[in-house]
A and B are shown apart, each in its own frame.
Chain A
Amino acid sequence: MKKTTTKTRLIWAGITVVVAVYALFPVFSILATSFKEPSDLSNGKLLPTNWSGVNYEQILVGDAQGLFLTSLRNSIGITLISTAIAVVLATLCAYAIARLDFPGKKLVLTTALAVSIFPVISIVTPLFNVWRTIGLYDTWLGLIIPYLSLTLPISIWTLAAFFRQIPWELEQAAQVDGATAWQAFRKAIVPLAAPGVFTTAIIAFFIAWNDFVYGISLTSTEAARPVPAALAFFTGASQFESPTGAISAAAIIVTIPVVLLVLGFQRQIVSGLTQGAVKG
């Protein structure tokens, strides 16, 4: 083991600053914009002249409240429900893949792979038409279903990778003790698998939270429109004002959950993504 010299410390401090600026500057830039007063927007500087909360007021309690808060509720509801469904289905599926011997295992994995590279826009046109016919257009369910095409494949991979690392002797021991395969799964494995399931849920949440194509194509009103799509429809306080400030403030609010999850679970997310991608 080489000793850490002052020089390497300094080099690493430098690299860390560069990476931090790369990763965080655009976020900081829109954060700064969100605190600019409307008259200050074109000041040509990064920072606002006066830090003002007027944009947040507008979207949280002001005229843009209806537009933003309903879309925020839609986003949270639709994303959480589709994440939950995906994680439950993927947990069962990944368990079977990691653990059981059955014909068609490869088929399931290849399908997951194929679905994950599927161009979303290719699905949108037929769904748009069918949803209008059967009444799912502009509803929560009408988004939850297609969101599964985004969240399910990556959940299956990530979980299959996690499950392959679980000490399965425990399950065998439970089966020797007379438990059925299902009991062994539920009692011995679920507690061990929970961290992997949780990580998968975070990754699936990010992906569903990020969606724009479905959100903008399969909704037409505030009944189901999620935040990313709503941002594209924001208008200024009056027709002469640009919605820049309001959009920036809304963008910051929907970024908060992302930042919190990343801060709290950095290690798990990195291991989930790397394992799922390479081994899954």
Chain B
Amino acid sequence: MSTPVDTKPSGRRRADAGVGLSERRKAERRLGWMLAGPAFVVMLMVTLYPILQAVWDSLFNFRLTAPGDKSFIGLQNYGVILTDPVFLRDLGVTSLITVITVVVELILGFALALVMHKALKSVRGFVRTAILVPYGIITVVSAFAWFYAFDINSGFINHWFDWLPGISEDTNWFAGTWTSLFVIMASEIWKTTPFISLLLLAGLAQVPDELTEAAEVDGATWWQRMQRVILPNMKAAIMVAVLFRALDAFRIFDNVYIMTNGAYGTEVLSLLAYRTSIGRLEIGLGSAISVLLFLCVLIICFVAIKLFKVDLAGNQGGK
């Protein structure tokens, strides 16, 4: 983790030393915005503008099937959604998926990070290559792979594990909420753990070797070193990894769409928004769900930054 302290950009030092200081500074500023400006404007255009449009649309009773009936209804759409048991159930399912996948991925990802960090030279390249495969694979492909493996018709899992209580040839994983969620989360975890493990690997690499070696010389066990030296030193990396994954998991869509399409109480918020606006063409209601989903993400972010002091901006601007 880089230090959160802002080191002075070297550009300033250069400008201070030169003659005609303000001209130089001005030119540098201009060049800075000329170079950074286009990317900045594009980012605003593709996110800020649509979300403002969504906020605006959410205040209307607006269906594409009857565009003439568009009328301003204030916050009524939000009232409808927030009192709708479907929305609350989807919020619950989404939160549940987020919490479980992040916890499992944190543990699994840390184990993988340790493996990548400590692996012998001879296998390090292979291990890293293998771990990057799930990272690069398309989520939809992952969803199909897991779906077909568990599916009652084309799957082999039922045959492999029929010795376990509760699993037989007729186990239909995708006909129940919990079994469906299990496979959905398995696919999600498989696909995204490499990302979290790479973030943790970066954190691990920044724990000074002298510290762990000193602790080892002092007779600390592996667990003590982990608990007292390594984990505290990479707290910032862990926090950033958890926050990123949590925000990503909260947007889960692909796995659910492919495997159950929201059937049997597995619908998540993104899918609800999709079905409302793209499926049923209820732009007003769909926009309101989109805005609420966005607010949820903001709240998660805010809580993480305030409560756990995740210093995202510090890492961003630092160094």
Contacts and interface: CB of A to CB of B under 8 A. Distances in A.
A112 B43 contact: yes
A35 interface: no
Contact of A24 (B112, B133, B301): B133
Contacts of A262: 129, 132-133, 135-136
B99 interface: no
Given A121-B251, A149-B43, A149-B47, A278 B144 contact: no
A99 B10 CA distance: 7
Interface stretch (B48-56, B75-83, B217-225): B48-56
B283 interface: yes
A236 to B, nearest CB: 12
Contact of B32 (A102, A128, A149, A217): A102
A89 interface: yes
B198 A273 contact: yes
Interface stretch (A8-16, A58-66, A191-199): A8-16
A33 B291 CA distance: 40
Given A108-B40, A111-B43, A273-B195, A125 B277 contact: yes
B307 interface: no
B101 interface: no
A245 B294 CA distance: 38
B275 to A, nearest CB: 11
Contact of B133 (A96, A113, A258): A258
A105 B198 CA distance: 27
Contacts of B215: none
A89 B42 contact: yes
A108 B2 CA distance: 19
A157 B64 CA distance: 39
A117 B139 CA distance: 18
Nearest to B152: A42
Contact of B39 (A108, A121, A168, A209): A108
Given A19-B131, A93-B40, A278-B237, A30 B313 contact: no
B65 interface: no
A126 interface: yes
A141 interface: no
Interface of A: 4, 8-9, 12-13, 15-16, 19-20, 22-24, 26-27, 29-30, 33, 41-42, 44-46, 89-90, 92-93, 95-97, 99-115, 117-130, 132, 145-146, 148-149, 152-153, 156-157, 164, 168, 172, 181-182, 206, 209-210, 212-213, 216-217, 227-228, 231-232, 242, 244, 247-248, 251, 254-255, 258-259, 261-263, 266-267, 269-270, 273-275, 277-280
Interface of B: 1-2, 9-12, 14-15, 25, 27-29, 31-33, 35-36, 38-40, 42-47, 50-51, 53-54, 57, 64, 112, 115-116, 119-120, 123, 125-142, 144-146, 148-149, 153-156, 158-160, 169, 187, 190, 194-195, 198-199, 201-203, 205-206, 237, 240-241, 244, 247, 250-251, 253-254, 257-258, 269-270, 273-274, 277-278, 283, 286-287, 290-291, 293-294, 297, 301, 312-313, 315-319
